[in-house]
Amino acid sequence: MRVRLNKFISECGIASRRKSEEFIKEGRVNINGKTVTDLSFFVDEENDLIKIDGERVKPQKKIYYLLNKPKGFITTTSDEKGRKTVTDLIPSFQKIFPVGRLDYDTTGVLLLTNDGDFTNFITHPSNKIPREYFVTLDKTLDENDKHKLLNGIRLDGRKSKFEKIFVSGQKHDRVKVTTVEGRNHFVKRMFGVLGYRVEKLERILFGQFNVKNMPSGSYRKLSSREIEDFYKTYGK
């Protein structure tokens, strides 16, 4: 089967699709003894000999993990400052990477995988995959501000909004929000524009994945059926 080179590399769990393109541009990829820098190059995954930095690359079985991310872990595969990463929590024999990001102090639903296509699908803005968060604010959420957040405010030079907001707590400072946005720090920045500080943030839903009844720091493998159901739900 012939597939585009960057897709093949990402599906092998080496790196994301974007990072795979960097490897190709840098001349680190060799096909049947020849260096390839063409991003549109196709390979025969069964018959071609593909190497990165001299090491042979072979297709890997796709794996998917659901993690209840605790505080104090960064959402990367490594850290130059030596801080703990989310991949430290999952003893996988295959290289995996997180799907999107959660801040150092943000908890809750985080997916990790070696499937670049799945990562691209679930994070691409056009697919509008819902994310749901529990938010604790530093003060009561004003009703007018709630309507502004639902109707849209300016963020990064464009109109941005939450799809749903539910307010609870004795001080009305406990908020559940739903968004289809995946921009960095989106929830914190949305509230920040209106003068609120997010004191606690937990993602409780990403697509149809949740960590209900999963202790903080625990994880489980997702089944192929769960991944198939996800694609069916969101239209792939």
Catalytic residue among 44, 79, 88, 103: 103
**Beta-bridge partner residues of 85:** 74
The verdict on whether 103 is a catalytic residue reads yes
Return the closest-CA partner of residue 32 out of 11, 7, 56.
56
Return the closest-CA partner of residue 202 out of 188, 189, 213, 191.
188
Can you tell me the distance from the alpha carbon of 197 to that of 29, in angstroms, rounded to the nearest whole number? Answer: 46
| Chain CA centroid to CA 121, Å | 10
Which residue is listed with tokens 């903080």? 216
Task: Cite the beta strand spans of the chain per DSSP E.
Answer: 2-4, 29-31, 34-35, 42-44, 50-52, 55-56, 64-69, 97-98, 107-113, 131-137, 153-155, 158-160, 164-168, 174-179, 198-206, 219-221
Token couple for 61: 């079985």
Catalytic positions are 103
